[in-house]
Amino acid sequence: MDMITSIHNESIVETRKLKQKKHREASGLFLAEGLRLCEVAAAVDAVEQAYYHEALADTDRGAALLRELSGRTRRFVKVSARVMQAMAETEAPQGILCVCKCRQVSLKDFQPDKEGLVLLADGIQDPGNLGAMLRILWAGEGRGLICLRGTTDPFGGKCVRASMGGIFHVPVINGVDWPGVARWAIVNGYEVIAAESGAGRDYRRINWPKKTLLCIGNEAQGLITIPAAEVKERVYIPVKEGAESLNAAVAAGILVFEANR
């Protein structure tokens, strides 16, 4: 099979553009790199194109992934080590990079078939935090992630990697505004719970609704766009006096698993 050795090859150039949000939005595609992520992507049939380095076949796991991808991928392309390095965002790429479909859901179509918790991110800036939230929602059976406009792009490389595959399993509603979400919550029977630092009620003392819309705000400023009057209950995790509040992803983990009790 032919191997692409030039980073100026048209499909390589086009694929690398997906590192930028505007190209992801225009195409509805995003990048997943590394064995674990590409395995998850293949398992849910989200892969459109796969680029690999031949050394991937040297391990059983890599060879199995290549077989899996070769059968079900529109483009399946061998590239040189230099091209792989140029396409990848990690320093030591594992030799596999997939172009995947963004499976975004519109608010209108977002109708979880089970009760449970939906997380809303209001201005989260760190893609590592947002990705950790996707990982938490996958593990903790959250029903979806709503990202208000102003939140970092959930399909960005760092977020995708931090999600450890959660991006392929958790329904994502991206770039929406609060008023529409507020209407969605009313129509679908979700109660709005806002995580705050030091305000409201101790998270262990509330009755978590069967349908919870849990809102987590910006790392430094907290909730940015959600009016206080539209929040049913504010909850906090008590921390030692004088200490910094918890990291947004850690707080999300504690609250999601508390709601699951």
Is 113 in a helix, a strand, or coil? coil
Q: Contact between 239 and a copy of itself (CB under 8 A)?
A: yes
- 35-43 vs 60-72: helix crossing angle, rounded to 10: 40
Of 142, 139, 147, which is closest to residue 114 (Cα–Cα)?
Answer: 142
Contacts of 10 (CB under 8 A, 6+ apart): none
- For residues 169 and 44, give the distance between their C-alpha atoms in angstroms, rounded to a whole number: 8
Binding to a copy of itself by CB under 8 A, coded x per residue (else -) over 72-111, reads ----------------------------------------
- How is 179-231 classified by DSSP, letter by letter? HHHHHHHHHHT-EEEEE-SS-SEEGGGS---SEEEEEEEBTTTB--SS-GGG-
Is there binding between residue 125 and a copy of itself (CB under 8 A)?
A: no
For a copy of itself, which stretch binds (CB under 8 A), given 61-69, 99-107, 184-192, 233-241? 233-241
Contact flag: residue 62 with a copy of itself (CB under 8 A): no
- Residue 253 makes contact with a copy of itself by CB under 8 A: yes
Pick from 140, 154, 209, 222 the residue near a copy of itself by CB under 8 A.
140
**243 makes contact with a copy of itself (CB under 8 A):** yes
Give residues in contact with a copy of itself (CB under 8 A): 36, 128, 132, 135-136, 138-141, 162, 164-166, 169, 204, 237, 239-240, 243-247, 249-254, 257, 261
